[in-house]
Amino acid sequence: MLRLNLLAEGDAPVTALDPDLAFFTVVVFGLTFLVLWRFAWKPIAEGLDRRERGIADQIDRAKSDAAKAAETLRGYEAKLSGAAEEATRILAQAKTEAQAAGERILAEARAEAEAARTRALADIASAKEQAVRELAKLHVDSAVSLAGSLIRKEVDAKGHQDLIQDSLQRFASRN
């Protein structure tokens, strides 16, 4: 077997312990540790503590903001619900008012129709009465004229008026 010898002549094997090297290594490590402990450990620890507190504060703020957002959401939902109820109430009120207005307009139209009917009936009755009077007057005038020509006697104005009234009363009582 071929063995490579990488050690120079006079070098100690790698597994050999050199007391000087070990001592200086411990001293350098200790000095480095003390320097780091004195100058770096506190700022690093403080930085880590600040970071931890900052993260905790951010978490607390996030929780607080989430709670505020949830409360605001509940408030908005309540307002939205109230607005929906108000809209429903307004629509119901408008429907009721529209129905009342419709009924009022219908009642007014019926009243106007009844008044027009009553006026029309009164006009018809008045026209009928006027027509009856005119017809009676014509009959009376014809009868007087015929009677006057039969008896050849002219009736005076008062007698003529009395005959007309008497004929009208008889004619009206028949109708």
- Percent pLDDT > 90 in the chain is 50
Statement: residue 43 has pLDDT above 80: yes
Mean pLDDT for the chain overall: 83
Confidence grade of residue 1 (pLDDT, cut at 50, 70, 90): very low
pLDDT digits (tens, 9 = 90+) for 87-98: 999 999 999 999
DSSP code per residue over 105-170: HHHHHHHHHHHHHHHHHHHHHHHHHHHHHHHHHHHHHHHHHHHHHHHT----HHHHHHHHHHHHHH
Residues 6+ apart with CB under 8 A from 143: 163, 167
Rounded to an integer, what distance in angstroms lies between the CA atom of residue 85 and that of residue 77? 12
Residues 6+ apart with CB under 8 A from 13: 7
Which has the higher per-residue pLDDT, 167 or 59? 59
